[in-house]
Amino acid sequence: MHGWPKGATPLLQELDIADTDAGREAYGLWFFDGCSHLLCPAPGITEAVRVLSQRYALGVITNGNDAIQRRKFGYLGLEDYFSVFVSSERAGCFKPEPAIFELALAEAGVAAGEAVFVGDTPSVDIAGARAAGMRPVWLSQAGAFLGPGDPLPDATIRHFGELPGVLLNLD
């Protein structure tokens, strides 16, 4: 064998299955099952989630495989804080389609205008939440910035520790 070993993404692209259900499942199995011991909560997230769960119903909306994403929250020790967990697999659609957000709202028993969605991808998270009538908060990590044409959030945070204060200002 010559050269460097390929990572999961280049291999799945070479096999032309990266954007298929099978490819996404293979990637999830490789990454989350193969590297689960490396998962740890982002700084400030555990405390923020604990504080927020005392005041709000918390939910997850993810474009990932249901079992893998739930397992990831289990590894992180966060699963008990979330009463709603909606994956694209279960919803039958992906963010930014409003239907995935609407399913989560229905399961939470919350009107869209009362809900806040926190996400890190403007074209998927901010746009999808806004289209569903929710108030989006952008998690702008590592100096990320909004580009021309990106949808605007109602608020921006740089780390999860800022979220409780930002939500109080949105109320």
**Exposed, middle or buried: residue 171 (CB in 10 Å: 0-12, 13-18, 19+)?**
exposed
One DSSP character per residue, 75-90 reads HHT-GGG-SEEEEHHH
What pLDDT was estimated at residue 4? 45
The residues near 101 (Cβ < 8 Å, ≥ 6 apart) are: 61, 95, 112, 117, 128, 129, 131, 132, 134
Cis upstream peptide for 5 (omega within 30°): no
Task: Please list the residue range(s) of the chain that carry CATH number 3.40.50.1000.
Answer: 45-170
Sheet harboring 135-139: ordered strands across?
A: 116-119, 135-139, 155-157
Tokens of 33: 């099952």
- The pLDDT-based confidence of 32 (bands split at 50, 70, 90) is low
* Model pTM score: 0.81
Place of tokens 């590297």: 35
5, pLDDT greater than 60? no
Q: Mean pLDDT for the chain?
A: 88
Tens of pLDDT along 48-72? 999 999 999 999 999 988 888 888 8
Choices 3.40.50.1000, 3.20.20.10, 2.60.40.740, 3.90.1150.10: CATH for 45-170: 3.40.50.1000
What pLDDT was estimated at residue 127? 97
Tens of pLDDT along 127-168? 999 999 999 999 998 878 899 999 999 999 999 999 999 998
Classify 140 as helix, strand or coil: coil
CB 48 within 8 A of CB 78: no
| Residue 116 parent element (H or E) | strand 116-119
Q: Which residues pair with residue 119 across a beta bridge?
A: 138
